[in-house]
Amino acid sequence: MATVDILLPTIERRTSLTMTLGGLAAQSVTDLRVIVADQSAALAGDDPAVQTLARVIEARGGAVEWHHRPPRQGIAEQRDFLLRQASADAVLYLDDDVLMEPWVVDRLLAVLAEERCAFVGAFPAGLSHRDDVRPAQQAIAYWDGPVRPEAVDPDSPQWERWQLHRAANLYHVGRALPPGESRRYKVAWLASCILYDRRKLETVGGFAFWDRLPRYHSGEEVLVQNLLMRRWGGCGTVPSGTYYSQAPTTTLNDRGTVDGHALDLLPEMIARYAPETIGSR
């Protein structure tokens, strides 16, 4: 069994996917099982550059597994499918537009093992904003002790933590830390590069709610992380060591919006999976 399963949904983003696989091929953790769920019209795995990177991952001790899934039922369904393929104790949901520095997977695994929380994320920066410094959006709440369960409700003051993940705010905060220092911080939610404890994720139902959402939706990981934080806690790491390709999104409808948000399910999901009486590890 691999140390970590990398769960990678992709659709019509071959250039960005190549970048993402390049980051995986350079990770210091080499025992990776990369599971790709590709909904592109033409399988990205047929591209020579993509094939080369897959061979590099395999030559370094990992494995790459391809699933061509033409029916498009939304990103939550993709995440549900990928989770059902996973067997490692730790699963990293990685979007197909994220480049990781070589130490990222190793650090995320170390934090998850030490904290015994439900998830830890490395939120990517869009470096087109590297000169766009926004002090008003860079408030950060560090975990000075162990990561603990917490309830972060939409529209609460804690929900405003999401502002830190705009543009390159987290990148700028990371650059202000002393060289070599890494910190864990409190989040409202994370996206694009999140390592989960697979069993904890499955305990709250994973993404099995996908069929209750419209084809074009958002917030599937926001919902899941909110439940997980209530029971076991979660955190982000800074510096994150991750960067967006800043390619156009593939999750919006023809109007450039979504038709529904997974947080509409939050009250009933809390009642089912994270009642207030649950707060221990």
Structural domains of the chain, with CATH: 4-273 (3.90.550.10)
Residue 280 pLDDT: 37
Higher pLDDT, 58 or 71: 58
What's the whole-number mean pLDDT along residues 237-248? 95
Residue 255 pLDDT: 83
- How far separated are the first and last CA of the chain, in Å rounded? 25
What's the whole-number mean pLDDT along residues 149-170? 96
Which pTM value belongs to this model?
0.96
d(CA 257, CA 218): 9
Q: What is the pLDDT of residues 201-218, one digit of tens each?
A: 999 999 999 999 998 888
Residue 7 pLDDT: 98
Residue 257 pLDDT: 80
Tell me what percent of the residues of the chain surpass a pLDDT of 70: 98
Closest CA to 240 of 191, 188, 196: 191
d(CA 198, CA 83): 8
d(CA 162, CA 218): 15
Q: State the sign of the Cα–Cα–Cα–Cα dihedral 250, 256, 259, 263.
A: positive
Q: State the sign of the Cα–Cα–Cα–Cα dihedral 112, 123, 274, 151.
A: positive
DSSP string, the chain: --SEEEEEEESS-HHHHHHHHHHHHT-S---EEEEEEE-SSS-GGGSHHHHHHHHHHHHTT-EEEEEE--S---HHHHHHHHHHH--SSEEEEE-TTEEE-TTHHHHHHHHHHHH--SEEE---B-GGGTT---GGG----B-SS--------TTSGGGGGGGGGSTTHHHHHHHTSPTT--EEE--S---SEEEEEHHHHHHTTTTGGGGGS-SS-B-HHHHHHHHHHHHT-EEEEES--EEE--PPPSSS-TTSS-S-BGGGGHHHHHHHH--TT----
Q: What is the pLDDT of residues 246-262, one digit of tens each?
A: 988 887 777 878 788 99
* Confidence tier at 235 by pLDDT (50, 70, 90): very high
